Structure formats: C-alpha cells, structure tokens
Amino acid sequence: MIKYIVATLAVGGVVGYLNNNWGNVIAGNFVSDYVFNASLILLLFIMGVAFGMDKESIAKMKRVGFKILAFPFAVALGSVLGGLVGGLVLGINVKASMAVSAGYGWYTLAGPLTSQLFGPEWGALGFTVNFLRELITIITISLTVKADKYVPIAMSGATSMDTTLPVIVRYCGSDTLITAFSSGFTLSLIAPFTITAIAALR
C-alpha cells in the first residue's frame, strides 16, 4: 500500500508542477479549493462510518473518556522538546526551532505563521520540516508500527486526523482510529497557539 501512496503523491506533485508552469491557473485553483476539500470530507466520512461500525472502539472511547487527551499533549510536549534539542545541537535560533516543531505536521500553517513571526527562512523551514514529518510517517509506518502501534500516530502529529489516518488504520488497526483522530484534532487546535506562545517568549 505504501508504494502506491508514494507513487500517487509523486505523480500528483509532477502534475501540479506542470499545471503551475504551463497549465491553467483556474484549474489549479479549482483543485486546491474544491477537489481537495471534497476529497478530505469524503475521507473523513468513510473513517466516521468505519468508526461507527466498530463497537469495540466506541466502548473503548467511553471507558477512556478525557484521558485520551493525554496522548496528544504528550506528543505536543515531545515535539517542542525535540525542537529545543535540535536547535541546541545545530546551534540555531532555539525558539524558532521550537516554533517550527510546534507545527505538529501541519505544514500549511507552520510555514506561513513561522514566516510571519521569525522571518521567511524559518517559514520555508517550517513548511519543509512539517511536510517531511507527514511524508516520513507514511513511508516508514510499516516499520515503526513494529515498535508500537501508537508510534506512527505520534509521528504523524496533526495529520493523524486526515491525510495519514487511512494508513494508520490500515497498519495500526481500527482500534487506534479514535486515538488517531482525537490526537490529530487536538494538535490542530493547539498548534497556532503554541507557535504564537513560543514566539512571544522572545
């Protein structure tokens, strides 16, 4: 499955590049504004149906309750601390490095926001780092799941509620669906506030 995902992503990237350079701008806007959103809504609908049909997942959610929020906050803390360590090791702006990591994989947010707060070079890094977080999760999930089925969920960060959710359910099991979705949703909510709060420490 992974090879098909990577191949599809590569083909999509080439098609998008060709359209951007020699195609119709209106067509590109149509894809980004309508097709992408429609595909995402359809994906979430299918995942919702799968979750609703799984009685064990619903029962598990009722048992765990609000304790399920401990997972995404642990992922958030680990991400920010990773940015701190990375900044110290590389000898770069530690706060900017932490802010980049606080995108939690949401590259369309981390890029523009870190660019606004720290400068364009950090915006580029914010986009790249968080995009690679999603891509590496997809490529390595067949290996990382062997360590623990929750490792890929932590790696994917905010994307575990949408783009990486299908591969997570496929490789980690349907019982991880609610954890993945709630983790991604929570991280998506707190990402802009975390980045802004780190920037305010300067």
Closest to 68 measured CA to CA, from 187, 183, 189: 183
* Domain-embedded: residue 24: no
Q: Do the domain assignments include residue 16?
A: no
Percent of the chain clearing pLDDT 70 (strictly above): 70
Q: What is the pTM of this model?
A: 0.75
Tens-place pLDDT, residues 68-113: 788 999 999 999 999 999 999 999 999 999 999 999 998 888 888 9
The residue among 198 and 26 whose pLDDT is bigger is 198
Token match 């070079």: residue? 121
Res. 46: pLDDT tops 90: no
Q: Is 18 inside any structural domain?
A: no
Residue 118 covered by a domain: yes
The answer to the question of residue 76 being in a domain is: yes
Check whether 156 has a pLDDT greater than 90: yes
Return the ∠ at Cα 46 (arms to 45 and 52), rounded to 5°.
85
Assess whether pLDDT exceeds 60 at residue 26: no
Residue 20 has pLDDT above 60, yes or no: yes
Q: Is residue 3 part of a domain?
A: no
Counting the structural domains of the chain, the total is 1
> Between 38 and 150, whose confidence is greater?
150
- The pLDDT value given to residue 155: 95
Which parts of the chain fold into alpha helices (H)?
A: 2-22, 25-30, 36-53, 55-64, 70-90, 94-101, 107-118, 120-144, 151-156, 165-172, 177-199
Percent of the chain with pLDDT over 90: 45
Is there a domain that residue 187 lies in?
Answer: yes
Q: Is the pLDDT of residue 40 over 80?
A: no
Residue with tokens 């110290």, as numbered in its chain: 88
Domain that holds residue 87: 55-199
Instruction: Return the structure tokens found at 150.
Output: 């929750």
Nearest Cα to Cα of residue 130 among 155, 150, 166: 155
pLDDT of 37: 63
pLDDT, position 132: 93
Residue 10 included in any domain = no
What value does the CA radius of gyration of the chain take, rounded to a whole number of Å?
A: 18
* Assigned token pair, 105: 């994989």
Longest dimension (CA), the chain: 55
C-alpha 16/C-alpha 26 separation (Å) is 13
Q: Of the ranges 37-51, 59-73, 90-104, 182-196, which one carries the lowest mean pLDDT score? A: 37-51
Average pLDDT of the chain is 82
